[in-house]
Amino acid sequence: MRLRPFLPAALWVGAGLIGFTVRTGAQTATSAPASAKPAAPAASASVRVTPVTSLAFSSDGKKLAVGSYSQVIIYDTSTWQQTTIFKQVVDTARTMAFQPGGSLLAVGSGLPGRTGFASVFDTNGGDKPYVYPKQGDTVESVAFSHDGKELLLGANDNRAHFYTSTSSAEGTLIDAHNGRVSAVAFSTNPGTLYVTGGMDKIVKVWVEKTGQNVCNFDQCDSGLTGLVFLNNGVQFVGSGLDGKLYWWGVSHDEKKDTYGGYFFRQFEAHPGGVYALTGSANGQRIITGGADKAVCIWNPDNGQKIREFKDGTTPVYAVALNPDGKIAAAGGPDGQVRVWDVEGNKLLTTFAPPAPVVSASTPTAKPTSSASVKSGKHS
């Protein structure tokens, strides 16, 4: 499960993300007519930096997907060399998730205030990406079910969608939040529960088979930025713009078929706000990044901090852990991806994805004659 990092509103202008400028001593990277006389070296030049806005490791740990403006780049984690580029991204890759045990990569994007897209790419090659029907605003969070057959997404139009297929629009519309749905997650117990969290400070718990909203949590003092289930499948962690991590749980009386909820832990993790939260595939570690420029690795069962990395110089927008939680990656507005050895407590490598070549084209949804979308105001 890979959840979208929260992007502070100040970074968005119109339909695009502001580019950051770095001053260097190199010559300006522009070309001049052949007849022109050589220009004197510039005292300084501007290099446009594209913020890293989402990250995700594949379930086998062999690939790292890096999302930024108009593109997603796949890297080979044995060499950290680029292998594939997907350019069918509208505006910015705001969130990503790899399919458990598979090669599919779900990417959320869109034009702020206008439209949202959720696309599924095959990172092993093959057909063009499948694009779900357009959302009312940008897609902020995506998650695959643990069997990789279903997809959950949250959007800036205050709605979530539960899709039962990765190649059709069959599913359920969830219209129950009063703020953008910025975090979604499936239980680690297949076919049981999923959760949605929003800028309305509410986390809602849903029964997958019936679509029933069985309990809500309102302990968070600000909007939610991430949700991750623990391995027991009934407890989960949430992160907020208030800088805190929260632990919640769901109980189920099988005889009465009734549900209850409980809140059992919270603490401050990143002063100024937690912008990104996700977990390792084995469920033994979670990773956070925030406004304080730090990246932290935690034990989700007891909340103990395992590692803290402070190599970055800017806020952290995106984080990821490889399947066993031993390799961590993070990125942000400086355009750099930093990769750490968690066990060795050291920085392994730093690289910057190449600047994108922006295309004016936007993906369109494939026709799905069998599509059946249920909608309703759930409460």
pLDDT string in tens for the chain (379-residue length): 444 444 543 343 333 343 433 333 333 232 333 333 333 334 334 456 899 999 999 999 999 999 999 999 999 999 999 999 999 899 999 999 999 999 999 999 999 999 999 999 999 987 789 999 999 999 999 999 999 999 999 999 999 999 999 999 999 999 999 999 999 999 999 999 999 999 999 999 999 999 999 999 999 999 999 999 999 999 999 999 999 999 999 999 999 999 999 999 999 999 999 999 999 999 999 999 999 999 999 999 999 999 999 999 999 999 999 999 999 999 999 999 999 999 999 999 999 999 876 554 544 444 333 333 344 444 3
Tokens at 59, concatenated: 């379930």
- Helical H runs in the chain? none
Q: Quote the CA–CA distance of 286 and 304 in Å, as a whole number.
A: 10
Residue 326 DSSP code: -
Q: Give the model's pLDDT for residue 47.
A: 52
CATH, range 9-13+52-363: 2.130.10.10
Helix (H) or strand (E) holding 111: strand 104-111
Q: Quote the CA–CA distance of 323 and 342 in Å, as a whole number.
A: 13
Q: Are 106 and 120 in contact (CB under 8 A)?
A: yes
Among the listed residues 34, 30, 54, 33, the one whose alpha carbon sits nearest the alpha carbon of residue 42: 30
Among the listed residues 170, 76, 94, the one whose alpha carbon sits nearest the alpha carbon of residue 139: 94
